[in-house]
Structure 1
Amino acid sequence: MMREESVMMREEAVMMREETVMMREETVMMREETVMMREETVMMREETVMMREEAVMMREETVMMRQETVMMREEAVMMREETVMMREETVMMREETVMMREETVMMREET
């Protein structure tokens, strides 16, 4: 009777050890899964950072392009103003030429 009890107790102890081993293995697996999930989270964060940096760069490029467009428009306005001034000068020169011709005609008539 004592032997049977002793055998049963040993079997129970073995079973408990096996359960403990299984629980430890499960714990290890869960820790490994946690590590993998953390690594995935880190990778996702790095991707997010990269995407944000790309977005910032694109915005900066857009700003630069807009500034270039503004500068080009300002240059176009200046060129138009120069053209207007040149036309006005041409008109003035023509008027002067007309006046000089009229003076020449008047001088001829006087002589």
Structure 2
Amino acid sequence: MADVDDGMRGLVDMDRLRQRFDNDDELLGEIFRVFQTETPGRRAGFEQALAAGDMNAVTHLAHSLKGVAATMFAEPLRQVAYDLEMAGRAGDTAAVSRLAAVLLRRLEATNQYVAGLF
């Protein structure tokens, strides 16, 4: 495993992830490659939904990302995706706007973190 910035270590709980997947580095590498491949599309989807004011799409995208983040034990990303999903369901446009900015930053940070792992 490559060295990564200590400030980014909390983005993914590698101990729990390794335990869940029986220390299978090949499988973890594949999971991270898929995440990296899907990240630009997820970002674009959020940006388009936000620009269109499409709360249903924002809610759906946040829900989907929440599941991906949970699978990867990426708790900071999972938590903001959950918060954004709930704000979208409530129709709270101010919270959606604020949380979407946080989510996009965490999505990028998580993507950069996993890029440095394998």
TM-score per shorter chain, which class?
Answer: under 0.3
Task: Tell which has more relative contact order, 1 or 2 (C-alpha 8 A, sep 6+).
Answer: 2
Q: Which has the higher helix share?
A: 1
Q: TM-score, normalised by structure 2?
A: 0.22
